[in-house]
Amino acid sequence: MTGDRKDDHVRLAHAQHTTGTEPPPGGPPTPNQFDEVRFVHHALAGTDREKISLATRFAGVEWPVPLYINAMTGGSPRTGEINRDLAVAARETGLPIATGSMSPYLKDPGTASTFTPVRREHPDGFVLANLNAEATPEQARRAVGLLDANALQIHINTVQETVMPEGDRSFAHWATGIERIAAAVDVPVVVKEVGFGLSGRTVRELASLGVRAADVAGSGGTDFARIENGRRNRPDYAYLEGWGLSTPAALLDARDCGLPLLASGGVRNPLDITRALALGARAVGASGPFLTTLLDGGVDALVRHITTWLDHLTSLMTLLGAHSPDALADCDVLLTGSLRAFSLDRDLV
Ligand code: FNR
């Protein structure tokens, strides 16, 4: 059953990124709130491309690039192949990679082989294991151990669980669960949403639980309410589609709340990566766009996709005069439209 659900997620996420929500190659991006983050153009700000370093650091972690393949899948034969292919692309481009939730492995150790390709194909890479807050400390150690993971992501997904008829309905103990896991594993714990965003209030609370970083994983890209609604004929929760904080709004809200921030959710192109870094993210993740390229064009296409994004990110940093990802935070940025209204309302600017 879990394997079927994982296959459904891949199918419906792929459909979301190919039927009307994703632009034709080379076309303008589907609108989202990243459009409301604009760089002030300074025509003489540019620097020399060879002076740019993409390296980034947070929570004692050093990555060669500020881009990673975010959590997606595992648990069925097909998703095992996808994990293998994602890991090959990560290895070829030097990207860190997260697996999808390893709950299937905790329920059925026979599914281990759908997760282990991530480490096998990327033996020297930075690998993040992924679990929910229901996992016990012992289970968390087992998941990290299976992949020899360098970090552990814990996802919080109350909206997705609510839309799923079989989903969890008790969330009050999740904070304690996160705290116990963070104390039990000897790798940094990163807490993430799954596309509905982490607010500043949430990040402040996470900082008190022993978590080392927060991936705001906001709305604007893959919508898990839509995915779960798409799994049934008569969705009960259609009105929850679009719920949540967008990734730029979450970054603004959660800045200076006690944890280094990662950004994901709705990242469409290298300009969105640059925008997220300018809003304070230490690194930027993508899931749906990478999955779609892999399913449509195979590993080679995904390697080209990632290589182009890194090449363009370097070009944008060169024209903005930012020698490193964290230097982008010094760029002049204008917020417009609803994002500006949100920031004013929340007293963030
Ligand atoms: C996801 N995502 C996800 N997140 C997580 O923490 N554990 C998981 O198991 C999954 N599973 C999953 C499956 C599929 C098919 C997709 C596309 C995504 C959520 C993901 O990590 C990310 O937070 C959101 O997809 C938003 O990013 P994008 O897709 O807009 O780049």
Q: For 105-119, how does the pLDDT look when each residue is reduced to its tens digit (9 = 90+)?
A: 999 999 999 999 999
Per-residue pLDDT averaged across 185-208, rounded?
98
Is 74's C-beta closer than 6 angstroms to any atom of ligand 1?
no
Report the share of the chain in percent with pLDDT over 70. Answer: 97
Is 294's C-beta closer than 6 angstroms to any atom of ligand 1?
no
**How many CB atoms are located within 10 Å of the residue 122 CB?**
24
Q: What is the DSSP letter of 159?
A: H
Nearest to 133 by CA among 201, 75, 186, 182: 182
Instruction: Take atom 1 of ligand 1 and give the residue whose Cα is closest.
Output: 72
Rounded to 5 degrees, φ, ψ at 161 are -60, -40
Angle (CA) 156-158-159 rounded to 5° is: 125
Is 266's C-beta closer than 6 angstroms to any atom of ligand 1?
yes
Place of tokens 């921030």: 261
Nearest to 281 by CA among 201, 190, 349: 190
Q: 184: which 2 tokens?
A: 């039990």
Query: How far is CA 257 from each of CA 57, 130, 206, 261, 314, rounded to the nearest angstrom?
Result: 18, 23, 9, 9, 29
Nearest to 61 by CA among 99, 98, 96, 86: 96
- Whole-number pLDDT of residue 235: 85
Question: Could you report the per-residue pLDDT of 6-17, keeping only the tens digit for each?
Answer: 999 999 999 999
ipTM field: 0.99
Nearest to 122 by CA among 156, 88, 171, 146: 88
Q: Using the atom order of ligand 1, give the atom closest to the CA of residue 100.
A: 9
Q: Find the range with the poorest average confidence among 175-179, 192-196, 232-236, 274-278.
A: 232-236
- 168 CA to centre of ligand 1 in angstroms: 18
- Residue of 32, 68, 79, 194 to test ligand 1 pocket, by largest number of atoms within 8 Å of CB: 194
Q: Per the annotation, where are the binding residues? A: 5-6, 71-73, 101, 130, 160-161, 192, 222, 266-268, 287-288
Instruction: Take atom 15 of ligand 1 and give the residue whose Cα is closest.
Output: 10
Q: 254 and 200 in contact (C-beta within 8 Å)?
A: yes
Inform me whether the pLDDT recorded for 24 exceeds 70. no
Q: Using the atom order of ligand 1, give the atom closest to the CA of residue 289.
A: 31
Question: Could you report the per-residue pLDDT of 298-320, keeping only the tens digit for each?
Answer: 999 999 999 999 999 999 999 99
Inform me whether the pLDDT recorded for 167 exceeds 80. yes
| Prediction pTM value | 0.97
Q: Per the annotation, where are the binding residues for substrate? A: 5-6, 160
- 197 CA to centre of ligand 1 in angstroms: 12
Q: Find the range with the poorest average confidence among 21-25, 190-194, 247-251, 298-302.
A: 21-25
Q: What average pLDDT does the chain have?
A: 96
- Whole-number pLDDT of residue 25: 56
- Rounded Cα gap, residues 217 and 222, in angstroms: 10
Q: 130 and 103 in contact (C-beta within 8 Å)?
A: no
Q: 121 and 100 in contact (C-beta within 8 Å)?
A: no
Helix pair 2-16, 288-320: axis angle to 10 deg: 50
Inform me whether the pLDDT recorded for 21 exceeds 70. no
Nearest to 218 by CA among 156, 270, 170: 156
- Rounded Cα gap, residues 96 and 306, in angstroms: 12
Per-residue pLDDT averaged across 321-338, rounded?
98
- Residue of 287, 305, 306 to test ligand 1 pocket, by largest number of atoms within 8 Å of CB: 287
Nearest to 19 by CA among 309, 223, 307: 223
- 287 CA to centre of ligand 1 in angstroms: 6
Is 222's C-beta closer than 6 angstroms to any atom of ligand 1?
yes
End-to-end CA distance of the chain: give it in Å, rounded. Answer: 47
Instruction: Take atom 2 of ligand 1 and give the residue whose Cα is closest.
Output: 72
- Rounded Cα gap, residues 275 and 255, in angstroms: 14
- Rounded Cα gap, residues 187 and 170, in angstroms: 27
Q: 288 and 221 in contact (C-beta within 8 Å)?
A: yes
